[in-house]
């Protein structure tokens, strides 16, 4: 007996609120994603969530490496830790915003306890933020917003 689950998976992934991880999510919202996070445990966690959603990702651990990555490839989305060594997420964002590239959707990753960080993230040119500890539903929501942002910008510049 052959059971097709494709439609069912699509229905599930269209509702990020339920937090279910399915790799058809990346088919619905195709994005090239860079993860910038210095904490190994957090790196692995976010990679795991994104891979389960069907994304291929690259990971770096500081802001300098973010800038170097953009020389090689223009990512649609950066999941950017605010606090990193060498160059933090704010400074990396500031530099990227001055680059003549197709601007990525930057999602800040902030610690829950640092409530002032969230306002600062938006003020400093990030588009969105998710709080640590990570919720898959929050990440899916931000990626959906990122996809809308990227596709609308592309449409406007055509």
Binding stretches for Mg ion (CB under 5 A): 38, 81, 83
**Cβ 95 to Mg ion shortest distance, Å:** 18
- Min dist CB 26 to Mg ion, Å, is 25
Give the nearest distance from C-beta 77 to Mg ion in angstroms. 18
What is d(CA 30, CA 49) in angstroms, rounded to the nearest whole number?
15
Ordered strands of the 128-132 beta sheet: 57-60, 33-36, 77-81, 105-111, 128-132
First and final C-alpha spacing in the chain? 47
Q: What CA–CA distance (Å, rounded) separates 80 from 90?
A: 9
Of all residues in this chain, which one has the CB nearest to Mg ion in the complex?
83
Give the residue with the Cβ less far from Mg ion, 51 or 83: 83
Nearer to Mg ion among residue 81 and residue 128 (C-beta): 81
Residue 35 vs 143, nearer CB to Mg ion = 35
The nearest distance, CB 24 to Mg ion, in angstroms, is 31
State how far the Cα of 13 lies from the Cα of 81, in Å rounded to an integer: 25
């Amino acid at each position: 007996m052959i059971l097709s689950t494709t439609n069912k998976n699509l229905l599930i992934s269209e509702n990020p609120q339920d937090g279910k991880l399915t790799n058809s999510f990346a088919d619905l919202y195709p994005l090239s994603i860079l993860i910038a996070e210095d904490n190994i445990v957090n790196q692995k966690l976010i990679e795991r969530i994104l891979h389960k959603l069907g994304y291929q990702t690259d990971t770096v651990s500081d802001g300098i490496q973010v800038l170097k990555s953009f020389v090689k490839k223009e990512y649609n989305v950066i999941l950017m830790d605010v606090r990193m060594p060498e160059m933090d997420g704010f400074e990396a964002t500031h530099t990227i915003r001055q680059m003549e590239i197709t601007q990525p959707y930057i999602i800040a990753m902030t610690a829950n306890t640092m409530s002032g960080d969230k306002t600062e993230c938006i003020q400093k040119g990030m588009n969105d933020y998710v709080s640590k500890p990570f919720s898959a539903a929050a990440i899916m929501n931000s990626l959906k917003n990122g996809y809308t942002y990227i596709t609308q910008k592309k449409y406007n510049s055509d």
